[in-house]
Structure 1
Amino acid sequence: MYSEIHLPKGFKCAGIAAGIKPASVKDMALILSERPAASAGVFTTNQVCAAPVKVCRAHLAHGVARAIVMNSGIANACTGSEGMVAAKDMAAEAAKVISCEPQEIFVCSTGKIGPQLPLDKIIQGIGTLFESASIGNVQNTAEAMMTTDTRPKVSVAEIVIEDKPVKIVGFAKGAGMIEPNMATMLSYITTDAAVEQHALQAALKKSVDGSFNRISIDGDQSTNDTVLALANGAAENRLLDENSPEWNVFFQALEKVCFELAMMIVHDGEGADKFVTVKVTGAASNDDAELAARAVANSMLNKTAWAGTYPDWGRIMDSVGYSKAQVVEERVDIFYDDTQAVAGGCQSGVAQEDLIKVVSQSDFAINIDLHLGGGEAVVYTCNCTEEYVRINY
């Protein structure tokens, strides 16, 4: 699927089966920059966060990175001091192999909360990853990141800065625990652009807010959320910052990659077969609009109704009402795509068959107008089927 994609200049990657998961399933990945790269990161806001997140936050202060090493299958979360030692040992071993400082290594884990990492397998896997890394090993790397994902997720943007070709390649994994503020989701963005570190951090944060922080699968927030960006300057453009003439070209490409990866996550939601866009307009503020949109998107009553092709607009009204957004019931309009179900807080009189036709689609929108102001927000979500229960029980 991604076998023809190459990383930006100066990057290599690899994905292997290290024995953390059974049956020779790929479970470790490496992304390596051949030169020091400016680094940026955004992490979970969960008060319970995994050891690798704590290590990454500390290493981000260094501002420069050489590699990301990750494992899937075990989250290394809620593992106490032993888990912290394991996360630091992952970084130290990768640094030794690459010949850099441990602070230049980011470590990530995803999978089951609680078990300790099999450090012997991790250490051996790091050496194997380094030996097999190449600029074109994108498919294996993306596969090694997966847990309950049904397919790997990669996005590419190619732009021109100062007549020099610049490339951005992003990876992501995630299918459940996707709300709010990212979720059981890892994403790695690589670019050969030369970007000032603080500008890269600000750009990544803004891009995440418009993409990974706009999605919801099941309303659960993870302990391991991590988005990392590395910019190694191999394209040899002049150092970019927010004041550079071509900054917007770079930033829009970064936004595109993050948004595409976020949409791939929603389309691959655990057990989901419908992609639903929830848009709220006319709110008293943008914050109110987001409260209302998230309430609708996270409601299991709504998600199961969509799974059953049951257009129960009453559940949507209920969600908006308890969202803590300012709501005047008599002003609320609700549309399924362009078909109006609610007018002024009451049933519009539209035929039920017309609404069923909309929710029978694999991709549709719930559009809500509160008629109270100029606030608006969008959340991208999915339905919830029986398969979600089977995956998670």
Structure 2
Amino acid sequence: MQFIDGGVTAPEGFTANGMLCGIKAGRTKNDTALIYSEKPCTAAGVFTQNRVKAESVKLTKKHLENGKAQAVIANSGNANACTGAQGAENALRMAKAAAGVLGISPEDVVVCSTGVIGQQLPVEVIEKNIQTLKDGLSKKGHAEARTAIMTTDTHYKECAVETEIGGKKVRIGAMCKGSGMIHINLGTMLSFMTTDCAISSAMLEKALRMSIEGTYNCVSVDGDTSTNDTLTILANGMAGNAEIVSEGKDFDAFYEALNAINTQMAKKIAGDGEGATRLIECNVSGACDVPTARRLAKSVISSSLVKAAFFGKDANWGRILCAMGYSGEQFTPETTTVAFESAEGAQRTGFTDFVGEQTGKKTSITVFENGVPLNFDEDLAKKILSEDEVVINVTLKDGNACGTAWGCDLTYDYVKINGDYRT
């Protein structure tokens, strides 16, 4: 398996495009994206667990009930959430507009929206420009599409991998947006995945749900679960491998590639949190089971006090223990150890490469050991916490399970961004 270029158009048979339709006044970058497969696809999706769901989420859940899709249309600048019957009609009009120019059924179109909640979507500007959007579909169009779904994101987020399944070259591509209102729970921000693998919709959904538990669901920027969280994947089978219809060697290979992409995308979202200056990774080892390890790690990176301490480069390990303590998970504080680690020159979100690995010299400092605070070098700790990527390593003695979660620091700019987001 290797990381490659191309995002959602890396797999065979997929094209994409993005353009500025004028959904939100003053926006100068693309605001509407279209992804299309030349062949019908098996499809799966996971969605927000927020009881308040955007109209696009409701429609897409309905469209994916049969496990089939062929296109995605997504807009930014307007969430089409809490918009009632008119909002529902506008979401359907988006599907019909895309279907009309592509020559497919509206039920085979995934519809997604992101942006301001509670304002009616000016769907007519999408309808006016849909033919131009369709005419621009191309293999290079992933570059236009990836910017069209951005809101407060400072960087586009995309990834693609190539692997071998059943003797055939198989590719998986992805693009997503996510910067604020992020506390993922069985979904993600807006994330779109494509693959040319031949795989049944049931196995596609199984792989997707298995993967998100240790990737997207282990991300938190600000503790807010969005009304619009949607992750979908379309598989057109054009790689020519024998269709994956059950677990086994081929399913495992597909899952490994899918999970590799989702891990990188999760880190990119966490590192690009609104106003963030650093990516925080929390690794918990020695837990009684994997779900416990993951929930402990997520409790740490979700803590506003932990986030604020990392913004201030303050090695306040007490806040980490506190966050673990109120998580509701079982662990033994008296045998817990906490250390901080970073690498010199690490890229915060890995935007300059696909893997985002720390390549500089790693430095670590233990601040709490076996339930006892240590006298540690505060200057060294501050240096470690000053890098763009900082790791919290929590070692327990309650079992052999491990889990990881990703977040970011909490800065003054987060308040500035969200204080007047609507107006």
TM range (shorter): over 0.9
What residue ranges of structure 1 are gaps of 5+ in the alignment? none
- DSSP-derived class of the 1:30 partner: strand
Mapping for residues 1-393 of structure 1, pairs under 5 Å: 6-21=9-24, 22-181=26-185, 185-243=189-247, 245-337=249-341, 338-393=364-419
Contact 2:219 2:266 in 1 (8 A): yes
| Structure 1 residues 194 and 144: CA distance shift in structure 2, 3 A | same
Shift of 1:183: 6.7
CA distance in 1, matches of 2:18, 2:37: 15
Shift of 1:296: 1.2
CA distance in 2, matches of 1:106, 1:311: 45
Q: Deviations over 1:305-336 (max 9, x none)?
A: 10111111111122122221224432222111
Shift of 1:58: 0.7
The AA in structure 2 aligned to 1:110 is T
| Structure 1 residues 302 and 61: CA distance shift in structure 2, 3 A | same
- DSSP-derived class of the 1:204 partner: helix
| Structure 1 residues 244 and 293: CA distance shift in structure 2, 3 A | closer
Q: TM (normalized to structure 2)?
A: 0.88
Q: Deviations over 1:332-360 (max 9, x none)?
A: 22111342111232311222223222212
Contact 1:183 1:222 in 2 (8 A): no
CA distance in 2, matches of 1:154, 1:76: 24
Contact 2:214 2:404 in 1 (8 A): no
Contact 1:301 1:315 in 2 (8 A): yes
**Alignment size in residue pairs:** 392
| Structure 1 residues 102 and 258: CA distance shift in structure 2, 3 A | same
* Percent of pairs with identical residues: 39
Contact 2:308 2:411 in 1 (8 A): yes
Contact 1:7 1:136 in 2 (8 A): no
Shift of 1:65: 0.8
Contact 2:5 2:159 in 1 (8 A): no
The AA in structure 1 aligned to 2:369 is A
Contact 1:3 1:136 in 2 (8 A): no
Structure 1 runs, 4 residues or longer, greater than 6 Å off: 2-5
The AA in structure 1 aligned to 2:91 is A
Mean CA deviation greater in 231-240 or 104-113: 231-240
Q: TM (normalized to structure 1)?
A: 0.94
